[in-house]
Amino acid sequence: MEIANSAALVTGGAGGLGEATVRRLVAAGARVAVADLAEDRAKALADELGDAVVAVRTDVTGEESVQVAVDAASALGELRIVVNAHGAPSSRTRLVARDGTPHDLAGFRRTIDIYLTGTFNVMRLAAARMAKNSVNDSGARGVIINTASIAAFEGQVGQLDYSAAKSGVVGMGLVAARDLSPLGIRVMTIAPGTFFTPAFRMSEEEAQERWGSAVPFPKRMGRPAEYAQLVQSIVENDYLNGEVIRIDGAQRFGPK
């Protein structure tokens, strides 16, 4: 899939992984819609990168909101690239607290809604638009890249809702790829390990000291630019489809 002259939609595009992806795609010649609830940050990024980028305030759980984002991306050209990199504020989730109190059900549902249902919502609406694209020389119309986490495979104590949601994203990948194959639309999933982003709300040095040593090699946290580099590789390689790629420096989460 050629990136140059393609239109792209990046959810969570004003955040750490999403912003790096937007920058990488624009540098490769794409025109990108930055879909994010952080409207001010999305607009600042669009203003910086120029006419190739538009900012769209987007709630991935809302049908109308996502459709507006898909329309905005499509106004830039044929929508051929979608990257779901949106996130949510994290909180520790245990089935039962140490005092015997059960976890709040609404909080669990909210996490599932953002990460899992939100990803499905974007996929279905974007794929419907991609289905109208012309095909390239390999019969392709587009590629959708979802973001899971290594917590989908080795969730730690306190990550119950997050692990459940990300496991669901992993589970959708192959099925979605098979479902969309007659349309020439690929679906891939990236499962990052511990990446440093502004969501940590601390300096990179502090975060590296706390979490970087747990990574076998390189002995540091991941960088958003490395995630974005993988996105570009997936887009450009038409034979990558229906698979999950871990990008984690060989890290495996322990119980805590």
What is d(CA 131, CA 118) in angstroms, rounded to the nearest whole number?
20
Range 121-131 burial, b when 16+ CB lie within 10 A, else e: bbbebbbebbe
Cis peptide before 89 (omega within 30 of 0): no
Which backbone phi and psi does 57 adopt, to 5 degrees?
-65, 120
Q: Which two tokens stand for residue 26?
A: 């624009």
For this structure, is 162 an active site residue?
A: yes
Q: From the CB of residue 159, how many other CB atoms can be counted at a distance below 10 Å? A: 22
Q: Please state the separation of Cα 48 from the chain's center in Å.
A: 22
Q: Which of 115, 162, 227, 239 is catalytic?
A: 162
Give helix 160-180 / helix 118-130 axis angle, nearest 10°. Answer: 20
- Catalogue the active-site residues: 162
